Structure 1
Amino acid sequence: MELVWLEDFSALAEYGSFVRAAEARHITQPAFSRRVRSLENWMGVELFVRTPQGATLTAAGKQILPSAQETARRLYRMRSEAQEVAGTAARTLQFSATHSLSFTFFPKWLRRAESGAPIEAVRLHSDSMAICEQMLIHGQVQFLLSHRHPDVPPLLAADQFISKKVGEDVLVPLASASAHFGTSPATLPYLAYTQESGLGRIVAHRLHGKEDFLHLKPLFSSHLAAVLMSMALESKGVAWLPSSLTEQEIADGRLVRALDESWDIPLDIHLTRPTAPISPAAEEFWAKLGA
């Protein structure tokens, strides 16, 4: 048994595709498939039904998925605790955060969260929402900082993770001030988030059923809000961008509204952690947030 087998199992269960899961795990698809098969051989049962359309969990796979994810988290937590005792971890707080929050919100929020009691060490892992969720599931980080919308529930199991609201944001449909796309919303070229993006899930939910009103065929896609902002600044289309990321560009007049305020999408910013115990330093930090 190897820890990476459990992580691969969880990734394939989430993505339902060997190709996409292998990309998320930064490994070739054949090597990824071999590791999944190795886990199945060790278990002595098939964990996935393989079809040309992808992979779905068998009954056995569904049964062991929560235990496999918790086992991975426990192993990483055990390592962190051993390092803390040995003095090599320096009470490090481990965060994963989406790129847009890493660039703008995280530094200011962390300074406020310290509340006069400096944190010894912080490690921030910045990536797509999908990767950040996997890091939290596998216990590679203690906390996940991400955008939330009440109508779009997170993919994380509610009985395994809890969260606290730590801020607010809003997605605004923006375009370059120099762009000329016409007056009809149906003519707007659309800059979209990919499936790996948490903001993409939220925007897709908000725009669902609006195909007759907006031209929703993406001209360009990325999981990075910063990339979509750059494309919008180059007059390539309209993107729903976080206000926290675009304050300066709006203030400078380089980005302007493409649609009225009824198309804004209010967001909460949440910090999420496992319900299971985390390191003493992380527990202390979490309790301080509640206070």
Structure 2
Amino acid sequence: MELVWLEDLSALAEYGSFVRAAEARHVTQPAFSRRVRSLENWMGVQLFVRTPQGATLTDAGRQILPSAQEAARRLYSMRNEAQEVAGLAARSLHFAATHSLSFTFFPKWLRSAEKGAPIEAVQLHSDSMAVCEQMLIHGQVQFLLCHRHPDVPPLLPPDQFISKKVGEDVLVPLAGASANFDTSAAAMPYLAYTHESGLGRIVAHRLHGKDAYPHLKPLFSSHLAAVLMSMALENKGIAWLPGSLTEQEVADGRLVRALDKSRDIPLEIHLTRPAGPISRSAEEFWATLVDC
């Protein structure tokens, strides 16, 4: 049994595709397939049903997935705790955060969270929501900082993870100041988030089946809000962008509201951790946080 096999199991369950899961795990697809097969051989059962459309968990796979994820988290936590006790590592806090929050919210929030008692060491891993979730599931980080919306349930199982609200934000439909879009037109150029983006899940939920929204014609997509902002600044279309990211561009008049305020999407910023034990320093940090 190897730890990477448990992580591969979780990744393939998440993406449902050997190609996409292998990309997320930074390994070739043949090597990834061999590792999944090795896990199945060790278990003595088939964990995935393979079809041309992708891979889905068997009943056995669904049964063991939560235990496999918990086992991976506990192994990483055990290693971190042992290194701290032995004095081989600083009492580090490991965060995963989506790109937009890494650049705008995280530094200022962490300073306020320290409450005058500096943290010994912090490691911040910035990536898409999908990758950040996998890092938390695998135990590679203790905390996940991300946007949430009350009407969009998180993909992380609520019985395995808990969260605290640590801030607020808003998604605003914005376009470049020189853009000339007819908001009553049958189709409007739309800059969309990909499925890897947590903001994309929220926007898709808000727009799905809503006749009140104009018909949007996707012209470009990315999981990075900063990339969509750059495209909006080039007058390529309308994008729902975080207020925390676009504050300066709006103040300078380079980005302007494309739709009225009723189309804004209020957001919460949450810090999420495993429900089970984490390292002593991480537990102490969590205990100091207060829900906003």
- Taking structure 1 as the reference length, what is the TM-score of the superposition? 0.98
Give the Å deviation of 1:209: 1.1
Q: Distance in 2 between matches of 1:212 and 1:118?
A: 48
Measure, in 2, the Cα distance between the counterparts of 1:143 and 1:155. 15
Amino acid at match of 2:136: L
Distance 1:61 1:250, change over 3 A: same
Corresponding residue number in structure 1 for 2:260: 260
Partner of 1:174 in structure 2?
174
Contact 1:188 1:214 in 2 (8 A): yes
Counterpart in the other structure of 1:105: 105
Residue aligning to 2:209: 209
Deviation at 1:213, TM superposition (A): 4.5
1:186 alignment partner, SS class: coil
The equivalent of 1:133 in structure 2 is: 133
**Residue 32 (str. 1) matches residue 53 (str. 2):** no
**Contact 2:169/2:243, CA 8 A, preserved across alignment:** yes
**Letter matched to residue 91 of structure 1:** R
Q: Is the 8 A contact 2:174 2:239 kept in 1?
A: yes
Q: Is the 8 A contact 1:186 1:213 kept in 2?
A: no
Answering whether residue 3 of structure 2 is matched by residue 3 of structure 1, we say yes
Per-residue CA shift, 1:72-115, capped at 9, x if unaligned? Answer: 00110111011101222210000000000000000000000011
Match of 1:162 in 2: 162
Query: Post-superposition, which runs of at least 4 consecutive aligned residues in structure 1 deviate over 4 A?
Result: none
Matching residue's letter, 1:127: D
| Residue aligned with 1:118, SS | coil
Question: What is the alpha-carbon distance in structure 2 between the residues aligned to residue 156 and residue 9 of structure 1?
Answer: 15
How many residue pairs match? The answer is: 291
* Contact kept in structure 1, 2:166 and 2:290, CA below 8 Å: no
Q: Tell whether the 8 Å contact from 2:188 to 2:217 is kept in structure 1 after alignment.
A: no
How far apart in 2 are the matches of 1:167 and 1:269? 5
Q: Is the 8 A contact 1:100 1:245 kept in 2?
A: yes
User: Once superposed, what is the RMSD of the aligned Cα atoms?
Assistant: 1.2
Q: Counterpart in 2 of 1:240?
A: 240
Q: Which digits, 9 at most, give the CA deviation of each residue in 1:214-253, with x for residues without a partner?
A: 3333110000000000000011111000000000000000
TM-score if structure 2 supplies the norm length?
A: 0.97
Query: Partner amino acid for 1:30?
Result: P
CA–CA distance in structure 1, aligned partners of residues 183 and 119 of structure 2 = 51
- The amino acid that maps onto 1:114 is E
2:55 counterpart of 1:55: yes
Q: Residue 290 of structure 1: SS of its match in structure 2?
A: coil
- For 1:235 and 1:290, how far apart are their aligned partners in 2? 41
Please state how far the C-alpha of 1:27 moved relative to its aligned partner: 1.2
- Corresponding residue number in structure 1 for 2:222: 222
Summarize the Cα distance change of 1:171–1:3 in structure 2 as closer, same or farther, 3 Å threshold: same
Q: Provide closer, same or farther for how the CA distance between residues 30 and 217 of structure 1 changes in structure 2, counting only shifts above 3 A.
A: farther
Q: Which runs of 5+ in 1 are unaligned?
A: none
Identity of aligned residues (%): 85
Between the aligned partners of 1:146 and 1:185, the Cα distance in structure 2 is: 34
Give the Cα separation in 1 of the matches to 2:98 and 2:142.
Answer: 15
Q: Is the 8 A contact 1:95 1:145 kept in 2?
A: yes
1: distance between equivalents of 2:23 and 2:276? 29
Q: Does 1:287 align with 2:279?
A: no
Residue-by-residue CA offset, 1:43-100 (whole Å, 9 max, x unaligned): 0100001111111110100110001000100110111011101222210000000000
Partners of 1:80 and 1:211 in 2: CA distance: 51
CA distance in 2: counterparts of 1:185 and 1:98, whole angstroms? 33
- Structure 1 counterpart of 2:186: 186
Contact in 1 for aligned 2:183/2:214 (Cα 8 Å): no
* Mapped contact 1:11–1:134 kept (Cα < 8 A): yes
